[in-house]
Amino acid sequence: MTLSVLVVGGAGYIGSHMCHALADAGMRVTVLDNLSRGHADAVAGFTLLEADIRSEADVRRCLSIERFDLVMHFAALAYVGESVSDPRPYYENNVAGTLCLLRGMLEAGLRRMVFSSTCATYGAPVALPMDEAHPQVPVNPYGWTKLSAEQALRDYAVAYGLESISLRYFNAAGCDPDGRATERHEPETHLLPLILREAARLQAGGDPEETALVVFGDDFPTPDGTCIRDYVHVSDLCRAHLLAGRRLLAGQVDGAEAYNLGNGQGYSILQAIASARRVTGQDIRYRVAPRRAGDPAALIGDGALARRVLDWEPEWTGLDEILSTVWARMKCDGLGVSR
């Protein structure tokens, strides 16, 4: 029997990669997305239900299409800075929308969810690497909305028997090595794509002295003065979701579980720029600006529990190989790069 999975927010970066991973595993994929930040062409070939998780009518309509075996929930607003300046849509979508989706699932008799969470639920690190026992004290509204959804899942497990696994990512990076999906954010705020965009500008003949790449702070208490982050390839994230889904489908989850997805090692901003120079062959320059408020010096995840329980092991551990997957796709797309 072919298993059926509803991928909520499946037209976004990680969601679209997940659709391909599920299809590769022989599962039937249906996407629910309002396309506010996702892209319909990212899920071409899959059934797309254009709907909004904040709408009870939309959720009921989508969940009545067929009997889904599993729900994977990626639909979230995820810009930290935007969540600070305009928190209302974050609470409306990430919290109220999740509650609406959960209500619809209970009404439809669905009791299994894999939830896309984040290391932002931890807040400022009190110890590194950060494991699942680390205090959860977010420092921005985005983190609070994700923590609120996690708490709802814990409470719904007790009250309604809803089984869930929350996966707390550190920094998602890379793209499908087969070129079937990529990362598209407007505006782009993630470091690695911004570095590669600068490389693409140079490849197209841009002046290195006119760099648009900004490094926020070079006076952190780290070896080179710049922030350190833990990067996880999107394909490794998707494999973890697949393993979590199988754990749920096998009846091995009792309540609400949560696991970190991190490589356990970090790279500084300057190390990331050096890696991109090697991968692209471009003399990438940068400008230094003052630190941004709330940026911790280092965020490194302890993924030992996911390795032990889910049998998950990252395959893409080097930053050069992670960046290579994105650079290859950029060249194919002709994003300012000679073919």
- Cite the active site residues: 142
- Residue 1 CA to residue 113 CA, distance in Å, equals 20
Residue type, 253: V
* Distance, CA of 255 to chain centre: 23
CB neighbour list of residue 191: distance below 8 Å, 6 or more residues apart: 171, 229, 269, 272
Inter-CA distances, 265 with 29, 73, 129, Å:
33, 27, 8
Q: Which of 62, 13, 16 is nearest to 43 (CA)?
A: 16
CA dist., res. 25 & res. 242, Å (int): 9
The dihedral formed by the CA atoms of 220, 264, 163 and 152, expressed in degrees to the nearest 10: -10
Residue 113 to residue 105: CA distance in whole angstroms? 9
Find the helix packing angle between 269-280 and 191-203, rounded to 10°: 40
- Between CA 311 and CA 303 the distance in angstroms is 11
Given a contact cutoff of 8 angstroms between Cβ atoms, the answer to whether 58 and 51 are in contact is yes
